[in-house]
Amino acid sequence: MKNVNKDRLHNWLEEINRHGVTEKGGITRLALSDEDMAAQAYVMKELEALGLSVRRDALGNIIARREGTQALPAIAMGSHLDTVIEGGRYDGVAGVVAAMEAVAMLQDEALRHPLEVIIFMAEESAPFGYATMGSKLISGKAAPRDFAKSIKAGKPSFVDMLKLRGFDPDNYQTALRHPDELKAFFELHIEQGKVLYESGEQVGIVENIAAPTRFKVTVEGLADHSGATPMGQRRDALVSAAKLILAVQDCGLAYADEGTVATVGVVDVEPGTINVIPGKVTMLVDLRGVVYDAVMQAFQDFKEAVREVADEDGVLINVDMLSSDQPVPLSLDMANVLAEAAEEQGLRYRRMNSGAGHDAMFMAGITPTSMIFIPCKDGISHNAAEHAELEDLAAGTALLAAAVKKVAQ
Ligand SMILES: [Zn+2]
């Protein structure tokens, strides 16, 4: 196998990240935007130059393939090119260039199994309000009708936008991938946390992906004059909501040992006027972990806190479940292949979990799947400051190529 070519990796990163550079120095390459389409066109050209046969499926996912010496299921690898608003240069892109480089490194190897590079459409939820759509659709976990509603009135939905770009979501069934077509899937990604960065390890081998349980909390008190209502006669919805925010934090802390985290990311106060006691507060809560029972126990504890606050404060509190996804265990076999290759290459690695969701979650439903994490500076991602060292990207890429070779032989 050829050595990893750092210059080529660097050059691909630079070329892809020409698309979507913002004035603030971040990258805004929203799914299906002009910038995203241009980056995809560049990558397709480079994949062809690597000798792969490149196609788009009905949903715009890019699939580049090299046949094996035998007609066997393919080993696939890949990630995504789209970013959040003012995102960084590595989330998704690192996995795309790593997969491209792995193909280049394996170019002269006769492998029994075919290889595929998959660039998933629309991984980030920024423009359409849903995440990981390409991988959810090709793995049969969702249908386009699930993504047909637009996030804002007057804005195109994901399905509208696919059609505008000339794709064919009505025929999405032709894009479904079946377990017998694939032997394994690998995704390299920046960690998006600081475990590796702080430990100094070069790669992480991911064993589980945490999944979010999301719910909406509505607190109804009484909007009243802020000057004329004595303290003892108030039903201030924001004061009750503040107690619930602390309860959310307590629930996260109580199950932190099981990898549970809890966040109130949105608080909406009505009427939102300085001289009116808040009458209604809506909060969105994201509770997630790798142990589903712990997440559900934390949720039950939160509901207990809701009953207490409602009683104490005389407010009406509703909790509406928005979604509750099961954490995804990845393939232990493929993790073992990665660990074996990491030992052979003398890499410092650790086995770990992913707190963030990835396309690999859905690929895991159809084929044995594993992920390689590389460190990112200070754990920062979804931000212009997102950074990964070329050395670490190269080490992760060499590991990816070695693991793919082991499975493909
Ligand atoms: Zn990503």
Mean pLDDT of 292-318: 97
251 C-alpha to ligand 1 centroid (Å): 27
Contact present, 90 and 188 (Cβ < 8 Å): no
Of 324, 347, 367, which marks where a domain is finished? 324
On whether both 196 and 343 belong to a single domain, the answer is yes
Co-location of 182 and 267 in the same domain: no
| Residue 1 lies inside a defined structural domain of this protein | no
Whether the predicted pLDDT of 94 surpasses 80: yes
**Is 153 domain-assigned?**
yes
Task: Mark the residues whose beta carbon lies below 5 A from ion ligand 1.
Answer: 91-92
pLDDT for 128-144, tens place per residue?
A: 888 899 999 999 999 99
Cα of 137 vs centre of ligand 1, distance in Å, is 17
Report the chain's mean pLDDT, rounded to a whole number: 96
What Å distances lie between residue 60 and 19, 122, 123, 138, 364, CA to CA? 18, 9, 12, 11, 20
- Give the total number of structural domains in the chain: 2
For residue 392, how far is its CA from the centre of ligand 1 (angstroms)? 17
Q: How far is the CA of 135 from the centre of ligand 1 (A)?
A: 12
Ligand 1 mean position, distance from CA 358 (Å): 6
- Same domain for 400 and 315? no
CA 42 to CA 240: how far, in whole Å? 52
- Residue after which a domain boundary falls, among 280, 305, 324: 324
CA 13 – ligand 1 centroid, Å? 15
Phi, psi (degrees; rounded to nearest 5) at 202: -85, -35
Query: Do 119 and 137 have their domain in common?
Result: yes
Place of tokens 């979010």: 212
Q: Mean per-residue pLDDT for 280-285?
A: 96
> Tell me, what CATH number does 218's domain have?
3.30.70.360
How many angstroms separate the alpha carbon of residue 220 from the centre of ligand 1? 37
Distance (angstroms) between ligand 1 centre and the Cα of 79 equals 7
pLDDT above 90 coverage of the chain, percent: 93
Residue located via tokens 């966040």: 263
pLDDT over threshold 90, residue 125? no
The residue type at 103: V
DSSP 3-state of 283: strand
How remote is the CA of residue 100 from the centroid of ligand 1, in Å? 16
Written as one letter, the residue type at 309 is V
Q: How far, in Å, from the CA of 114 to the mean position of ligand 1?
A: 25
User: pLDDT for 206-265, tens place per residue?
Assistant: 999 998 899 999 999 999 999 999 999 999 999 999 999 999 999 999 999 998 999 999
The pLDDT value recorded for residue 40 is: 98
Enter the DSSP assignment of 157.
Answer: P
Report the pLDDT averaged over residues 297-320.
Answer: 97
* Boundaries of domain holding 279: 211-324
Instruction: Report the separation in Å between the CA atom of 257 and the middle of ligand 1, taken as the mean of its atom positions.
Output: 25
Q: Rounded distance, CA 211 to CA 180, Å?
A: 26
User: What is the distance in A from the centroid of ligand 1 to the CA of 170?
Assistant: 26
Is the same domain home to 238 and 363? Answer: no
- Half-sphere exposure for 165 (CA within 13 Å, toward CB): 26
What is the distance in A from the centroid of ligand 1 to the CA of 354? 11
Alpha carbon of 78 to ligand 1 centroid (Å): 11
Q: Which two tokens stand for residue 118?
A: 């998959």
**Pure H helices in 273-326:** 292-313
> Are 126 and 225 in a shared domain?
no
- Predicted pLDDT at 153: 79
Last residue of a domain, one of 275, 301, 324: 324
Gyration radius of the chain over CA positions: 23
pLDDT at 129: 81
95 Cα to the center of ligand 1, angstroms: 8
CA distance 95 to 361: 15
Q: Average of pLDDT values for 359-378?
A: 97
Global pTM value: 0.86
Distance 408 CA to ligand 1 centre (A): 25
Per-residue pLDDT tens digits for 310-355: 999 999 999 999 888 889 999 999 999 999 999 999 999 999 999 9
For the domain that residue 17 is a member of, what is the CATH number? Answer: 3.40.630.10
Ligand 1 center to 123 CA (angstroms): 7
| Length of the chain counted residue by residue | 409
- Residues 221, 257, single domain; the answer is yes
Query: 318 and 334 share a domain?
Result: no
Which residues pair with residue 117 across a beta bridge?
A: 64, 77
Coil, helix or strand at residue 301: helix
Q: Are residue 304 and residue 337 in the same domain, yes or no?
A: no
Distance 336 CA to ligand 1 centre (A): 23
Query: Mutual orientation of helices 332-344 and 390-408 as an angle, nearest 10°?
Result: 120
